[in-house]
Amino acid sequence: MKTGEIVELRVESLGFEGIAIARLHGGDRDGLVVQLRGGLPSERVLARIRRRKRTYLEADVVEVLEPSPHRRTPPCPYAGECGGCTWQHLAYAEQLRWKEQHVRDAFERIGHCIAQEYRPIIPSPVEFGYRGKMEFSCSTRRWIPAKQWESMEPVAIERKQPAVGLHIRGRHDAVLDIERCLLLDERSNALLAAVRELIPRCRITCDDQRQRSGFLRNVIIRRSGLGEMMLVLVTRSPSDQSDQLFLERCVELGSRFPDVQSIVWGINDTLSPIPTGPFTVLYGRNHIREQVAGIEFRISAQSFFQANVPNLERFVTAVLDAASIEPSDVVWDLYAGTGTLTLPFARQCAHAIGIESNTAATCDAQANAERNGITNVTFITADLHDRAAWDCLDGLSTPQVVVLDPPRAGMHPRLTEYLCRRLPQRIVYVSCNPTTQARDVAMLSHAYRVVAVQPIDMFPQTYHVESIAVLERC
């Protein structure tokens, strides 16, 4: 079968990454798996082969012949091109059902363990406008969707057009220009529009990855449930007056938007998309405030905080319930961030210890403890993928409860070995990637059993799902 060939398929299921799964029937390729973009289970579709792999094919839906009863028209005009949302064409109730199934499949097929209880998924109270943080990439070359090519004059195609938006699926070098994102609330979209207007007005350049040039690299917007907003600008070092003028005009947005409490600027002259230098406060404070479980948090530009603002309270409550903390317990919160979980734990236990590799997040966490008068908590800056961190843990009292919320890649294998040596009574493993979570749980299975798994949807319109696993010592 050749690349570009059109084939008729019947979609069977949705895979872990949100990709539809189908199979070829007949001929010498009978049973060959096809990973399909844009299809839904039970649908009959025509698809174009995009890429051939050794054991499967990749394809794109070009026509839906028999639609699923759960298919809907995406409300976003960028759906299908933008890499931000992959499931807008799937009814929300079905999104939840598949996320539940993916969590269960991960534990049983990857972790080879069966939980005593799989709890019903906790839905997000809203499908759109939920994100408390969105990071938009800036590019001197705008990605033009295929459906727009015929309506554009050749000169418009050839001319470099700046873009402020999100990467298309599978391409980190292509930015789709986005005027309004449905995952943001209206105030955040208005702020984004105001920044976009300043780019041509101030005649600044956007990032050019090929030439490693251009001034504006990222625009990041954060908001909290308290209504406070932060604008983060990431640029290369200014090179002319237009760059300085842009920064000055951005500062003026603070007076135009009363909700904006912080405008900060970071310089990134490296090849990495992540700014490494310090941030400069251009307007207001260096943080915004959030309130969860009766605790006030400060969130700075570089700090991690859960993105679903309306569902944040339920997320924290679910983790607290899973931990079943006693007043005499010592609790370790590994990958603690700004203390989103550590501080609520501290109010229920004898002592809580938060370990976090990001120095800025640790500073925020300590400030959050002081702001709320919580004294039975200790925060330590340490990289849990480094041996030195385990030496640090050796000097601490063995906890009754350990809470983990690692990055998508999961835990370091030696950290799982370390936990099996310390043997806390209970481990609460929080993850946004059930596949790596299940892998890690399997490494703990000789010492722990999985009591319960609680999915919670923090990412509507995407295949991502948060999973809370409760492990108890055998």
3-state SS string over the chain? CCCCCEEEEEEEEECCCCCEEEECCCHHHCCCEEEEECCCCCCEEEEEEEEECCCEEEEEEEEEEECCCCECCCCCCCCCCECCCCCCCECHHHHHHHHHHHHHHHHHHHCCCCCCCECCCECCCCCCCCECEEEEEEECCEECCHHHHCCCCHHHHHCCCCEEEEEECCCCCCEEECCCCCCCCHHHHHHHHHHHHHHHHHCCCECECCCCECCEEEEEEEECCCCCEEEEEEECCCCCHHHHHHHHHHHHHHHHCCCEEEEEEEECCCCCCCCCCCEEEEEECCEEEEEECCEEEEEECCCCCCCECCCHHHHHHHHHHHHCCCCCCEEEEECCCCCCCHHHHHCCCCEEEEEECCHHHHHHHHHHHHHCCCCCEEEEECCCCCHHHHHHHHCCCCCCEEEECCCCCCCCHHHHHHHHHHCCCEEEEEECCHHHHHHHHHHHCCCEEEEEEEEECCCCCCCCCEEEEEEEEC
CA separation for the pair 312, 124 (Å, rounded): 9
Q: Looking at the chain, how many residues does it have?
A: 474
Name the catalytic one among 113, 181, 202, 432.
432
432 carries an active-site annotation? yes
C-alpha distance from residue 392 to each of 128, 139, 153, 444 (Å): 42, 43, 63, 21
CB contact at 8 A, 346 and 366: no
Which residues belong to the active site? 432
